[in-house]
Structure 1
Amino acid sequence: MTAADIPAAVRRFRDAHPRVDVSLRTGGSEELATQIAAAAIDVAFLGLPPAVEPAGVRSRRLGRGELVAVLAPDHPLADVDRTDLAALADHPFVDFSAGTPGRLQSDVAFAAAGVTRHVAFEVTTGDLAGRLVSEGLGVAFLPAAYAATLPGVRTVPVDDAPVRDEYVAWSRHRPTPAAAAFLTQLDLEIPQPPGP
């Protein structure tokens, strides 16, 4: 997530509400939206392909971010200033599971460029993707700010890079007081639905 500084928002929330305990989780965007709809979590940050909006929840689009190619330091393209999908397509990929929003954003970009690629490894987390890339097993696409935190990899901007829209999402029903207070930390005015 690059459209919101989540740690800073959590710090502001904690400063304002020190008696509220916070449980942070990671997961796929669809999984997190499902957990909000089931009232298992209050708020989630989601990354989705363009034209795909969060389902079953209320949400606000925070921004759009381009992904960067994540490469092993000894990869033939690791030291170029920029690249494109056609140049990357000759190499194996590490990507998220087929059908997930994380995978769809890359699939959409390759289809738009008229380029095919081979996904050799499917993963469920960006951290695992980075670890496989650092071992030289493939190329991945991840948000630049996140990729910069991964050890043993290089990042390269891509001219026709996959993009994703970033959202904050919450319950379609009345948010809990803690969720409403947290959303306020993001400077979002969240309209309340009518009461019961």
Structure 2
Amino acid sequence: MDLRHLSYLLEIAKQQNMTKAAQTLHLSQPTLSKIVRSVEDELGAPVFDRSGKGLRLTDSGAAAIRQIPAVLRAVQDLHTAMDDVAELKTGTIAIGLPPVIGSVFFPRVISPFQREFPNVSFQVTEEGAKRIEGLLLSGELDIGVVVGPVNAQSFHAVPFIRQQLALIVHEAHPLAGRRRASIAELADEPFILFSYGFAVRQLVLRACQAAGYEPRILHSSSQWDLMAEMVAAGVGISILPDVICSKITDPRIRVIQLDDPVIPWELDVIWPRDNYVPHAVRSFIKFIRLSEGMTD
């Protein structure tokens, strides 16, 4: 049913005269009469009683006229909502972030994006990289940030941060006065690492195994600040991304660069290749590319 035809019925009911309504609508009277009959056929009941000199609404017609304004408003609201989404006046992005990088990603990307698009909201899920990948593939998240490399067959990826991991020790530790250290030198140390499912943990484990030993993991945590507190208390050592080390202000902690080997820490913004990408997410991806100096 053509929505314009419903608006024609409103005008006819207002004028109570087919000829006057046709003049107002800039239609010929026969054309308008044909439209009305067509609408009545679709509704399965007469809208107007034509037995007298003028037009009167039938019971069915009165019921229809009461509903038509609501129908037209609902359709208009639908178009407005679609336009708002297309123009990014509104939208929601479900994003997965490892807890370790939330404090970096928010000020660097999300905050400036929301200044430009204040009505786009974010639903943030904090999980490890593997869990984020699973939530993306199941459609529970739109976009995620993980430590690369990622499976290129399953995900699109945009590089975000390219840094490396660093060692943190207590100020009284034998290595505290050093600027650099190797993974091999840490074979007998008690490690404080991220929990299972965190990519940083796997990077450290692989580096230790390549150096010929399995690290002795004393504590595991999902919170880098708690890990730093344990190091400051002399409980053990930890290996964290450079960007996190730069946030540690406890004077008891020393940051030492690892150079044998360097352990790269590369963050990628990813989204599934086979899933629908909402308009707000596409705009967010474009924003990230521009903010990181990349082109599409």
TM range, smaller chain: 0.7 to 0.9
CA RMSD of aligned residues (A): 2.6
Please show how residues 172-191 of structure 1 align to structure 2 within 5 Å: 172=273, 173-187=275-289
Which residue of structure 1 lines up, in the alignment, with residue 265 of structure 2?
Answer: 164
Equivalent residues in 2 for 1:53-64 (5 A)?
A: 53=151, 56-62=154-160, 64=162
Which stretch shows the higher mean deviation, 102-111 or 90-99? 90-99
**Partner Cα separation in structure 2 for residue 75 and residue 97 of structure 1:** 24
Cα contact 1:54–1:169 (8 A) shared by 2: no
Task: Note the residue ranges of structure 2 that are not aligned, 5 or more in a row.
Answer: 1-100
TM-score with structure 1 setting the length: 0.80
Distance 1:118 1:55 in 2: 35
* Post-superposition CA distance 1:88-119 (Å, at most 9, x none): 22211011235642221011111222244311
8 Å contact 1:33–1:56 — kept in the other structure?
no
CA contact (8 A) 2:166 2:257 kept: yes
Q: Which has the higher helix share?
A: 2
After superposition, what is the alpha-carbon deviation per residue over 1:107-157, rounded to whole angstroms, capped at 9, x for unaligned? 111122224431111222323322222221111111111112124232100
2:157 is aligned with 1:43: no
Q: Which has the higher contact order (CA 8 A, sep 6+)?
A: 1
Mind listing any 5+ residue stretches in structure 1 that lack a counterpart? Answer: 191-196
Distance 1:8 1:98, change over 3 A: closer
Name the TM-score, length of structure 2 as normaliser.
Answer: 0.56
1:12 paired to 2:112: yes
- The corresponding residue for 1:194 is none
Distance in 1 separating the partners of 2:122 and 2:269 = 17
CA distance, structure 2, for counterparts of residue 71 and residue 14 of structure 1 = 38
1:55-83 residue CA offsets vs partner (Å, 9 max, x unmatched): 85432344543200012233221221111
Distance across 1 between alignment mates of 2:199 and 2:152: 10
Q: Is the 8 A contact 1:120 1:138 kept in 2?
A: yes
SS of equivalent to 1:186: helix
Matched, 1:26 2:126: yes
Residues 1-48 of structure 1, C-alpha deviations (whole Å, 9 max, x = no match): 5xx865232233112211112233432111222222233322221114
Q: Where does residue 208 of structure 2 map in the other structure? A: 110
Distance, in Å, in 1 between the alignment partners of 2:137 and 2:295 is 20
Structure 1 equivalent of residue 173 of structure 2: 75
Taking the aligned partners of 2:202 and 2:106, their CA distance within structure 1 comes to 24
Q: Deviations over 1:162-188 (max 9, x none)?
A: 323321112331212121111111126
Distance (whole Å) between structure 2 residues aligned to residue 171 and residue 86 of structure 1: 38
The change in CA–CA distance for 1:106 and 1:53 in structure 2 (over 3 A counts) is: farther
Letter in 2 for 1:165: E
Confirm or deny: 8 A CA contact 2:164 2:266 kept in the other structure: no
Distance 1:6 1:76, change over 3 A: same
Native 8 Å contact 2:130 2:197 kept in 1: no
Pick one of 220, 235, 249 that aligns with 1:122. Answer: 220
Q: Which has the larger radius of gyration?
A: 2
